[in-house]
Homo-oligomer: A and B are copies of this chain.
Amino acid sequence: MQRKPTMNDVAHRAGVALKTVSRYVNGDPTIGADYADRIREAIAELGYRRNMAAARIRPGQSAKMIGLIISDLSNPYFATLARAIELGAAAAGYMLTIASSEEDGARHDLLVDRLLEQQVDAIIDVPPRAPGRAWRDIPPPLPPLVFVDRPSDWAAADTVLADNAGGARSATRALLHAGAGTVAFVGDSVEIFTMGERLTGYRQALVEADRPVDDDLVRDTVHTVDDAMRVVLDLLAGGRAQAVFAANNRAALGALRAFRLAETFLPMIGFDEFEAAALINPPISVVSQDIQAMGRAAADLAVARLNGSDIPCTTTVLPTSLILRGSERLLPAF
């Protein structure tokens, strides 16, 4: 493998000074046309490619790279979010270094360290459920920071959230409105911010409708689809639940499996759109987050900071929408 041609090689070949090549490469317009031609030729002949790593070591320079930490790239929700962020970043000329924290605080912190070592221009972060080191314990300077999906203890950063409580509230209300006497909550640990919010919204809806909050109907230990299935089977056996609010994707899929297994279908609404939702019989109603908008907002906020925006840090809460497809009612046909 031969040596990579450097800017110096180009300068020699073109018979100009190093700095002139640098100017050319950086799009400086004040270059004589003949010089520009010679440089262009030399670059083509040598197959020269600029070394961003070298350019970046100088303070004030950047590699046009944003670091993104999410929970798990194979989760469609986060994949979609990452994609939306990628689009927003690309529009401003940034690429993305993406890493999965697996909701593990220690791993998350390690990823932060590595991104900082890499001198990324900004970090967009989904704070993990299991908390690690606090951001304030990281010695400054920190690059611009944006939190998505969940907030953080660190105030000096922009935050983009969905209206989890509102979505859960409208879903629960829709179930009650469709005639359910009781509604069960099936979700992951309420220590996860979004789950806590969704539980709050669920409770609000019950209180507003003058229904008691039955703790036996609140199940917040669902980490996997299988967990959810077991929990819903248990709820079916208990006989107290007349409807199910599945507070995330996995909970919804698990509930559907349980219904199929038990050959009983309770009215249900899920949180987050999923591929199967419209195809299943009955089609599943869901609370839908505008993931594209969240990702775009996060990327735009990061880019704005990189462009020197100095406005106070903001928290953006994006609305959710309730998509009713029929599963909120009890279907005699099933």
B73 contacts A83, CB within 8 Å? Answer: yes
Residue from B53, B86, B116 in contact with A118 in the complex, judged by beta carbons closer than 8 Å: B53
How many residues in A have their beta carbons less than 8 Å from beta carbons of B?
Answer: 58
Q: Which residues of B contact A119 (CB under 8 A)?
A: 51-53
In the complex with contacts A86-B99, A141-B1, A253-B279, A74-B79 CB distance below 8 A: yes
A96 contacts B95, CB within 8 Å? Answer: no
B86 contacts A80, CB within 8 Å? Answer: no
In the complex with contacts A65-B118, A97-B96, A99-B95, A253-B281 CB distance below 8 A: no
B65 contacts A97, CB within 8 Å? Answer: yes
Interchain CA distance A97-B47 in the complex, whole Å: 23
> Which residues from 81 to 110 on chain A have a C-beta closer than 8 Å to any C-beta of chain B?
82-84, 86, 90, 95-100
List the number of copies, as a whole number: 2
Interchain CA distance A114-B59 in the complex, whole Å: 21
Interchain CA distance A140-B80 in the complex, whole Å: 35
Residue from B3, B49, B74, B139 in contact with A47 in the complex, judged by beta carbons closer than 8 Å: B139
Q: Tell me which of A46, A72, A74, A115 has the highest count of chain B C-beta atoms within 10 A of its own C-beta.
A: A74
Residue from B73, B80, B83, B117 in contact with A49 in the complex, judged by beta carbons closer than 8 Å: B117
Q: Tell me which of A95, A96, A257, A278 has the highest count of chain B C-beta atoms within 10 A of its own C-beta.
A: A95
In the complex with contacts A47-B140, A53-B57, A95-B76 CB distance below 8 A: no
B100 contacts A98, CB within 8 Å? Answer: no
Interchain CA distance A317-B116 in the complex, whole Å: 38
In the complex with contacts A53-B56, A57-B57, A100-B83 CB distance below 8 A: yes
Interchain CA distance A53-B63 in the complex, whole Å: 9
A76 contacts B73, CB within 8 Å? Answer: no
> Which residues from 266 to 320 on chain A have a C-beta closer than 8 Å to any C-beta of chain B?
274-276, 278-281
Chain B residue, CB-CB nearest to A138: B47
> Which residues from 26 to 82 on chain A have a C-beta closer than 8 Å to any C-beta of chain B?
46-47, 49-54, 56-57, 59, 63, 65, 72-76, 79-80, 82
Decide if A256 is an interface residue (CB 8 Å cutoff): yes
Q: Which residues of B contact A117 (CB under 8 A)?
A: 49-52
Q: Which residues of B contact A56 (CB under 8 A)?
A: 53
In the complex with contacts A56-B53, A141-B1, A114-B100 CB distance below 8 A: no
Interchain CA distance A57-B50 in the complex, whole Å: 12
B79 contacts A100, CB within 8 Å? Answer: no
A51 contacts B57, CB within 8 Å? Answer: yes
Chain B residue, CB-CB nearest to A68: B98
Interchain CA distance A34-B281 in the complex, whole Å: 71
Decide if A216 is an interface residue (CB 8 Å cutoff): no
**Cross-chain pairs A/B with CB under 8 angstroms, 11 sampled:** A47-B140, A49-B139, A52-B117, A54-B57, A65-B97, A74-B79, A83-B100, A90-B99, A274-B275, A275-B275, A280-B281
Closest 7 CB pairs of A and B: A47-B139, A276-B276, A79-B79, A74-B83, A73-B83, A54-B57, A1-B141
